[in-house]
Amino acid sequence: EDKVVQSPLSLVVHEGDTVTLNCSYEVTNFRSLLWYKQEKKAPTFLFMLTSSGIEKKSGRLSSILDKKELFSILNITATQTGDSAVYLCAVPSSGGGADGLTFGKGTHLIIQP
């Protein structure tokens, strides 16, 4: 059974701080790892990682994958109150075909002014 574990489950920091969110996974047939930001309802896509060691970057957000140690991190630098959200990590299910995603429980990030 595929498994995704995120830590911490919640995090409160001040504006301007840098945060690192963690995601470890166990999948039978790894294809990719995805990060989403869930603010109110619908998760919005952040990154898809398939290769180890290659950092993906989008503004103040960056992410990297370690396929040997089976984890990924999501970094947010110079945090802003608008970064407050639940950050979800997910992997496509190991079954073949168009299977859905297995999500972690998410990290609830709160940025205080």
Min dist CB 16 to another protein, Å, is 27
Find, among 26, 9, 23, 3, the residue nearest to 63 by Cα: 23
Q: Which is nearer to another protein, 79 or 102 (CB)?
A: 102
Draw the binding track, 29-48, toward another protein (x: CB under 8 A; -: no contact): ------------xxxxx---
**CB atoms closer than 10 angstroms to residue 54:** 10
Cα 63 to Cα 75: distance, rounded to the nearest angstrom: 6
Give, as ranges, the residues between 71 and 100 that touch another protein (CB under 8 A). Answer: 88, 90, 93, 98-100
Positive or negative, the Cα torsion across 76, 80, 81, 83? negative
Q: Which residues of the chain form contacts with another protein (CB under 8 A)?
A: 41-45, 88, 90, 93, 98-106
